[in-house]
Chains A and B, each alone.
Chain A
Amino acid sequence: MSLVNEIDYGTPASLSGKMVTLTIDGNEVTVPEGTSLMRAAMEAGIQVPKLCATDMVDAFGSCRLCLIEIEGRNGTPASCTTPAMEGLVVHTQTKRLKDIRKGVMELYISDHPLDCLTCAANGDCELQDMAGAVGLRDVRYGYEGDNHVFAKSDGHANDRWMPKDESNPYFTYDPAKCIVCSRCVRACEEVQGTFALTIEGRGFSSRVSSGMHENFLDSECVSCGACVQACPTATLTEKSVIQIGQPEHSKITTCAYCGVGCSFKAEMRGEELVRMVPYKDGKANRGHSCVKGRFAYGYSTHKDRILNPMIREKITDPWREVSWDEAYKYVANEFRRIQYQYGRNSIGGITSSRCTNEETFLVQKLVRAGFGNNNVDTCARVCHSPTGYGLKTTFGTSAGTQDFDSVEHSDVVMVIGANPTDGHPVFASRLKKRLRKGAKLIVVDPRRIDLVRSPHISAAQHLQLRPGTNVAVVTSLAHVIVTEGLFDEKFIRERCDWDEFQDWAAFVSSPEHSPEAIEGLTGVNPQTLREAARLFATGGNGAIYYGLGVTEHSQGSTTVMAIANLAMATGNIGRKGVGVNPLRGQNNVQGSCDMGSFPHELPGYRHVSDESTRDIFDRLWGVKIQDEPGLRIPNMLDAAVDGTFKGIYIQGEDILQSDPDTKHVAAGLQAMECVVVHDLFLNETANYAHVFLPGSTFLEKDGTFTNAERRINRVRKVMSPLNGYADWEVTQNLAKAMGLNWNYTHPSQIMDEIALTTPSFAGVSYDLLEKEGSVQWPCNEKAPLGTPIMHINGFARGKGKFIRTEYVATDERTGPRFPLLLTTGRILSQYNVGAQTRRTDNVMWHEEDRLEIHAHDAENRGIRDGDWVKISSRSGETTLRALITDRVSPGVVYTTFHHPTTQANVITTDFSDWATNCPEYKVTAVQVGASNGPSDWQVQYDEQARQSRRIKILDAAE
């Protein structure tokens, strides 16, 4: 094993198609026009010394180390800023260049500490490397003069010296080691797009500064790590590297947080993770990361992890640690007893979007082949199930149409009900990069999200609609496009059913769908809406990105179809830069859906009533799969309350915290006789569990994740599971205990079974992933290397289907008792229910959920910023602290759901999407008032949770 070394070409690649040929040090090199001489040289294997250049950011030309000579030209130009041209003859090493470089290095080193042996960058320092490369042997200037290195000189304080900034929990800034190459500043601007860093002062006084000479933690810094990665010295260094030392080997793996699915190098020393560094060849993230993937992995070794299986007869008993065998035997006996007593369909399972494809496949296989029913569902039920339904109905495939690279070709981007800078930060950075180059942005969101206005980004239009009126707004956009004749007739005639289009066009053209007519419902200015529609239809390549603000509504599926209609009507499908792109919440939501986690579908989105599909699995598994759909999560809970559903195996999901109407979820779980939770921690659901099976983290197993762009990426094991077994092994052992004859010895064999049974995965294998890095499904005979962009020459279903999308107001309405609308979301530093991120230093950015409320609504209620407030709905009430803001409109309040003590889902109701039962998290009618402290429910819940987490310590004699 060794470190995965990535070549730094010094400057970004040129995308030009025109090639030029030149000679560098006697070697003939052909590169695309616009390539720098530095990069051209590197491609020929010649490394020109450099300090301020790195290929993640544009050339800057400040360090004067990368000088070269060109025959026929005067002077010594910088190779990073000089473009390659046809016929140039370049020399990178001459007497003159050597002298200049040595002189430059001498100056650098004269103002740099010489503590290399004890420096955290020892072994990974570009300054040290360059001193070696130019043959620096002596510094004639000495170290005594003006400097930034020593706190004192001649017994007096050195005003130029600045202490280390250790405010950020994950990295330090040591100004004494800074060479002011400004790579960090440029990474913050160009890669991340936050503009938190700058160079203050001039000349010798120039210093890197976060914000207005603030600490990193107090500045606008979002801790994405791009600056740390860019730093060539120990100035910006991961604290983990300072503590542990340099890594000695690394493996490429995939982040286990959001649906962007970034590729990382897990850099290791033995089995200890030293740091996670984004991988430049990762096709989702292209070398960038966010604070979660880059730094928030500490939960994997957190003391709260449960490492031994536990059981208890009653949920009021304390937990009792048992052997794995005893736990499997207990579950198998209980499940068989329940089925004997209450019928075959009285048990089920939930697969996890945080587990691998292989693990998810096994859980649904256990349910279908072992339990003998189709009662399997997954957390996508509560997030993107409407995407599956809506896109399958209109396009024929339950997935986004593009790859993330596509955004680089978009001219107009519409973001609907998503907050990418918090929820999908790495995609947001790529989007912002494109916006800074001139693409236009339309935001449709009840809240003024950061994208609406942030440094160098400004949305052309923000349709600040009332929660719950997506269908009215998107249909009205279509109204403008159709009535003003802005639709793409050629595309529609070629790719879609023309009669269906005409029916739909007549529907949307009706005056009741005009922006003026819906203003009263939606609160959106008609002129703004018209301009947004015109911009989207006529602005060039138009792409739509959407999130849970679209799906988590009573009309979630209808909105997805309305979005698909809009894309088809404007011809924005089937090429780069366009498309319909669901931003998936969790890393493997796409994968868990693909793997047959839904109760009505076998892997590859094939309905269980389809005999030929069932046949494939019946034969391979030697069972008879039921031809009827099983229960969805909310239906399981209803059936549990009704007494016909009694046992469940939940892998890696915390339904008690993440699902709506907590009291109903608790009642359902309480009514069951055997609840098995397979997780890293005693999560909230485990308070109601009878069996706890310890889970493993993404660092502890092999497998694959499929991200929002359908990209199948490898997850690689870098350390042994602390609990002893990868999750797929636990599921397999449980299956064996239930009498199934499974003998997988490696997840690759599970992928082979997926490929064998599922046409869209037919070509996928670990060998292929090893060769290609990743592939996007469909990957089969027709597309052996996968499919970056879908529906290129026609839709998967044949003709694209236009569907009428009538707005129906949700029954969750405001009234005198509950006059405000609550909507929910996510924050950058935390992830989902927070089970992982709350167990990292990310809590420094968000230690509690806050209720965002407009100043008008706050004033009416006598609420000040930071006050404890009670928020109540028809379902329940909870308390949290208020945050007064103008990001939400009057009448709308907003909160996150990362902390179990807040229990935001006590308030959310049981309303759900008409087609998929996806809960309506995004609209709840509430009242907000002053409060003295936690609600009765919070106090009771806290006590119950504390009681149920007791673990009985066994006597030594036992």
Chain B
Amino acid sequence: MDSESHKTTAEKLVYMANQIATFFHSQPMDEAAAGVAEHINHFWEPRMRQQLFDILDQQNNGLDPLVLEAAKQIRKPGTVSV
């Protein structure tokens, strides 16, 4: 299957989240969800996490089940201060 370049940001975020999940799938099961959540908390800017939560609200969002499981532990960004 050909992947397409020039994806939208939302498509990229889904892809990135799934890539992280793919790594943690191979790690011990009890650490996997926490690992995904910690990784996203550590490296994703609030805008990206907010977009991820928007994506999570959608049906058939294409996210790996491990990302869905990790979502509970991902920090909701506060309102961005101006």
Residue ID in chain B nearest A811 by CB atoms: B3
- Tell whether A468 is near chain B: CB-to-CB under 8 Å: no
CA distance A628 to B75 in the complex (A): 10
- Tell whether B70 is near chain A: CB-to-CB under 8 Å: no
Shortest beta-carbon distance, B12 to chain A, in Å?
6
- Tell whether A629 is near chain B: CB-to-CB under 8 Å: yes
CA distance A375 to B45 in the complex (A): 9
Asked whether B3 lies within 8 Å of A808 as measured between CB atoms, the reply is no
- Tell whether B72 is near chain A: CB-to-CB under 8 Å: no
CA distance A375 to B48 in the complex (A): 13
Asked whether A910 lies within 8 Å of B45 as measured between CB atoms, the reply is no
In residues 597-650 of chain A, which contact B (Cβ within 8 Å)?
599-600, 607, 609, 628-632, 635, 638-639, 641-642, 644
- Tell whether A866 is near chain B: CB-to-CB under 8 Å: no
Shortest beta-carbon distance, A82 to chain B, in Å?
62
Asked whether B6 lies within 8 Å of A639 as measured between CB atoms, the reply is no
Shortest beta-carbon distance, A459 to chain B, in Å?
31
Shortest beta-carbon distance, A374 to chain B, in Å?
8
A639-B47, A914-B23 known; A875+B6 contact, CB < 8 A: yes
A806-B26, A874-B5 known; A910+B80 contact, CB < 8 A: no
Interface centre among B5, B9, B22, B46 (most CB of A within 10 A): B5
Asked whether B80 lies within 8 Å of A343 as measured between CB atoms, the reply is yes
Residues of A within 8 Å of B2, CB to CB, are 815, 817, 874
Residue ID in chain B nearest A341 by CB atoms: B82
Residues of A within 8 Å of B39, CB to CB, are 915
Residues of B within 8 Å of A630, CB to CB, are 45
A804-B27, A874-B5 known; A554+B45 contact, CB < 8 A: no
User: A345's contact among B5, B22, B28, B80, by CB below 8 Å, is which?
Assistant: B80
Asked whether A917 lies within 8 Å of B45 as measured between CB atoms, the reply is no
User: B12's contact among A344, A910, A916, by CB below 8 Å, is which?
Assistant: A910
Shortest beta-carbon distance, A416 to chain B, in Å?
20
A554-B19, A600-B43, A607-B42 known; A344+B5 contact, CB < 8 A: no
- Tell whether A586 is near chain B: CB-to-CB under 8 Å: no
A554-B19, A874-B4 known; A804+B77 contact, CB < 8 A: no
Shortest beta-carbon distance, B75 to chain A, in Å?
9
CA distance A669 to B23 in the complex (A): 32
Asked whether A599 lies within 8 Å of B6 as measured between CB atoms, the reply is no
Residues of B within 8 Å of A558, CB to CB, are 23
Shortest beta-carbon distance, A599 to chain B, in Å?
7
CA distance A483 to B39 in the complex (A): 32
Asked whether A641 lies within 8 Å of B9 as measured between CB atoms, the reply is yes
- Tell whether A812 is near chain B: CB-to-CB under 8 Å: yes
CA distance A815 to B4 in the complex (A): 13
CA distance A644 to B50 in the complex (A): 13
Residue ID in chain A nearest B44 by CB atoms: A629
Interface centre among A340, A374, A632, A817 (most CB of B within 10 A): A632
User: B45's contact among A628, A664, A812, A875, by CB below 8 Å, is which?
Assistant: A628
Residues of A within 8 Å of B19, CB to CB, are 554, 914
Interface range on chain B (Cβ under 8 Å from partner): 20 to 34
User: B42's contact among A629, A631, A661, A917, by CB below 8 Å, is which?
Assistant: A629
Asked whether B22 lies within 8 Å of A914 as measured between CB atoms, the reply is yes
CA distance A459 to B6 in the complex (A): 41
Tell me how many residue pairs across A and B have CB atoms closer than 8 Å.
Answer: 90
- Tell whether A86 is near chain B: CB-to-CB under 8 Å: no
Residues of B within 8 Å of A629, CB to CB, are 42-45
Residues of B within 8 Å of A817, CB to CB, are 2
Asked whether B5 lies within 8 Å of A600 as measured between CB atoms, the reply is no
Asked whether B48 lies within 8 Å of A915 as measured between CB atoms, the reply is no
Asked whether B82 lies within 8 Å of A344 as measured between CB atoms, the reply is yes
User: A631's contact among B3, B45, B80, by CB below 8 Å, is which?
Assistant: B45
Residues of B within 8 Å of A911, CB to CB, are 3
CA distance A679 to B42 in the complex (A): 31
User: B16's contact among A639, A641, A917, by CB below 8 Å, is which?
Assistant: A917
In residues 34-58 of chain B, which contact A (Cβ within 8 Å)?
39, 41-48
Residues of A within 8 Å of B20, CB to CB, are 914-915
Residues of B within 8 Å of A343, CB to CB, are 80, 82
Chain A 81-98 against B: per-residue CB contact (8 Å), 1 yes, 0 no?
A: 000000000000000000
- Tell whether A503 is near chain B: CB-to-CB under 8 Å: yes
Residue ID in chain A nearest B42 by CB atoms: A600
CA distance A828 to B19 in the complex (A): 35
Asked whether B27 lies within 8 Å of A803 as measured between CB atoms, the reply is yes
- Tell whether B60 is near chain A: CB-to-CB under 8 Å: no
Asked whether A638 lies within 8 Å of B27 as measured between CB atoms, the reply is no
Shortest beta-carbon distance, B10 to chain A, in Å?
9
User: B48's contact among A635, A811, A909, by CB below 8 Å, is which?
Assistant: A635
A806-B26, A815-B2 known; A642+B45 contact, CB < 8 A: no
User: A638's contact among B12, B28, B80, by CB below 8 Å, is which?
Assistant: B12
Residues of A within 8 Å of B41, CB to CB, are 609
In residues 864-889 of chain A, which contact B (Cβ within 8 Å)?
873-875
Residues of B within 8 Å of A917, CB to CB, are 16
CA distance A632 to B43 in the complex (A): 9
CA distance A642 to B5 in the complex (A): 16
CA distance A558 to B12 in the complex (A): 20
A629-B43, A804-B26, A915-B39 known; A344+B6 contact, CB < 8 A: no
Chain A 655-673 against B: per-residue CB contact (8 Å), 1 yes, 0 no?
A: 0000001011000000000
Chain A 893-925 against B: per-residue CB contact (8 Å), 1 yes, 0 no?
A: 000000000000000011110111100000000
Asked whether B9 lies within 8 Å of A875 as measured between CB atoms, the reply is no
Asked whether A503 lies within 8 Å of B28 as measured between CB atoms, the reply is yes
Shortest beta-carbon distance, B70 to chain A, in Å?
14
Residues of A within 8 Å of B44, CB to CB, are 629
In residues 799-825 of chain A, which contact B (Cβ within 8 Å)?
803-806, 808, 811-812, 815, 817
- Tell whether B81 is near chain A: CB-to-CB under 8 Å: yes
Residues of A within 8 Å of B9, CB to CB, are 638-639, 641-642
Shortest beta-carbon distance, A799 to chain B, in Å?
16
Asked whether A875 lies within 8 Å of B5 as measured between CB atoms, the reply is yes
CA distance A629 to B75 in the complex (A): 12
Shortest beta-carbon distance, B51 to chain A, in Å?
9
CA distance A448 to B8 in the complex (A): 38
CA distance A796 to B19 in the complex (A): 28
Residues of A within 8 Å of B42, CB to CB, are 600, 607, 609, 629
In the complex, given contacts A558-B23, A806-B25, what are 9 additional A-B residue pairs having Cβ atoms less than 8 angstroms apart?
A344-B80, A344-B81, A629-B43, A803-B27, A808-B22, A874-B2, A909-B5, A910-B7, A914-B16
Could you pull out 16 A-B pairs where Cβ atoms are within 8 angstroms? A339-B82, A503-B28, A629-B44, A629-B45, A639-B9, A644-B47, A661-B6, A804-B26, A806-B26, A815-B2, A914-B16, A914-B22, A914-B23, A915-B23, A915-B43, A916-B43
